[in-house]
Structure 1
Amino acid sequence: MLVLNEAETRAALPWSDLIAALRTMFRDGCEMPVRHHHDVAVLGEAAATLLLMPAWQPGSYIGVKMVSVFPGNTGRDLPAIHGSYLLSSGKTGQLLAIIDGAELTARRTAAASALAADYLAAGDAHHMLMVGAGRLSQNLIEAHASVRPISQVTIWARDIRKAEATAAQIDLPGISVSVATDIEAAARTADIISCATLSLKPLIRGDWLKAGAHLDLVGAFKPGMRESDDRAVERATLFVDTRDGALSEGGDLVQPLRAGLITPGSIRADLAELTGGRHPGRTQPGEITLFKSVGAALEDLAGAILAFERSPHG
């Protein structure tokens, strides 16, 4: 049985191959039940949460991501979130691999945004604004740079020290990296704006978006969170990773949907429709596009299969 740690998982999922694997999986589809969400009592502490996210291709592979969230771990100097991905044979049920869940999630999330950008961002997009400086930020920058000719990256975060630390870690040929203190000024000039935050209030204003801009919204994964304002949703052509997820979980669309500013029909296409050729994506040079991602189990499955088949044991 194959076991991949964080570094090995990263090495097994190069951007070009991972984006191609997601493109194929979204196009062809798989079985993807609703994820399981269970409260787990912890004596003397806040309850923990167990998340189970299964997906499978009949006769091929079965996968499930298991994530545990233990709030009490902060007092033990341990991570609150732990995750692993279990990949099994779809023919025999034999367990084939255990893959680092956090690294798999981070890379497949960034790859899904890059896949969307390949359909939605301007072909000559070269300036990327990264809003947020957490774990996902470097992945999102690298993934977008693999599908568009990015030559300039600007990073903005509430804590400028975190933005500076992330900027120092990025070493991509032909790309200059800087830190912004004025988010509005940076947003007004960016071709691609990617947001990966836990913000409860909008950070990006629709009036800041220039003609032809692409807005990638990855954070704000709960209905009460928000990374963009109503004006952004009104100005942009809207796309999502999956309709069910984005219209029920992501606050950037859930809130304007509840307010009656948009309807489910306002979503032009999801990634299955884009990869399947049922929608062309960007249709005009000056069009502003918005992609909302909340994640899907099929992305984990695609990444896990790739990592397994690329390994010597695959």
Structure 2
Amino acid sequence: MLEVREILLLMAEETRKRGLPLPVPENALTEWAEGLGLKERGDVLLYTGGLYQLIPYINAFVEYLERMEGSRASGFLLKAARRLKLTGLATAIAKPRREEVEYSRRVLRAIVRLLQKAGVSVAYDPRIDGYSGVLLYDMGLEDLFREHARKVYNALKSAGPSLVVTVDPHTTHILRNVYPKYIDGYDLNVKSYLEVLAERRIELEGAGGEWVIHDPCLYARPLGIIEEPRRLLEAAGVRVREPKRTGKMTYCCGGPLESIAPRLSRSIASKRLEELSSVSKRIVTLCPICYANLTRVSRGETIRDISLVLAGDVD
């Protein structure tokens, strides 16, 4: 069994040192926006929270943990990785699959194109875009999360937006529902890009065809973002199919358990994939964590983020 304490300490130390839970390149969160010519200030500010960009590195981390899980030496190895400046771990994580990095880049650029097509003049400041701290909160590192949340909040407030647009359910939930519990006087207006798109008239030339939808737990339950993605998919010519467990009764993808119990996470993801693929072999996800976990156990199904399906970029 993995030494959970060592994993949490590893994440905590990296977050304190660099603001990110894993040792990744300095530009890993912002290079996707290069060449887009986005202004840095505006009424509508895009905040990614870093999850899409971190997925290739999280996948490499999970593979590293899977190799150690079940080893009696796992605790020693994790402790050594942490105390020896994460040398071996950093080497493993620093070489994510190129196709995964490009996929995350495509998703974020597709989101910007969709917003612009809907008439939203979106700004993006790479100096204040960063990690939301979601894993710190999920793993119970409350004191560090509070400290990190205040830094993120102050940076966003300094930009002066009237609306902060997020790109994934974890970041949306953390900023909208969790930060206010930890920050006095919190007053950011936060919406998912899917909500923003659904509020506007937008002509979509999407992928079309039949896709089964996987609702992420946070969109479906605390955020109540269920109908918006379906309306957008239908507007893009998609025939939306529903799995047995859908909407508020959706089933977990196995995340974020993969960071501390990768085998259990894989088992849960496999069960969910079986449910989805029994309806359609083309699966649309709305969350980077869901995409990563379902793809990890895929048996050849086509799994794509909703942004790419809406933009018609599914090849």
What is the TM-score normalised by the length of structure 2?
A: 0.33
Higher helix share: 2
What is the TM-score normalised by the length of structure 1?
A: 0.33
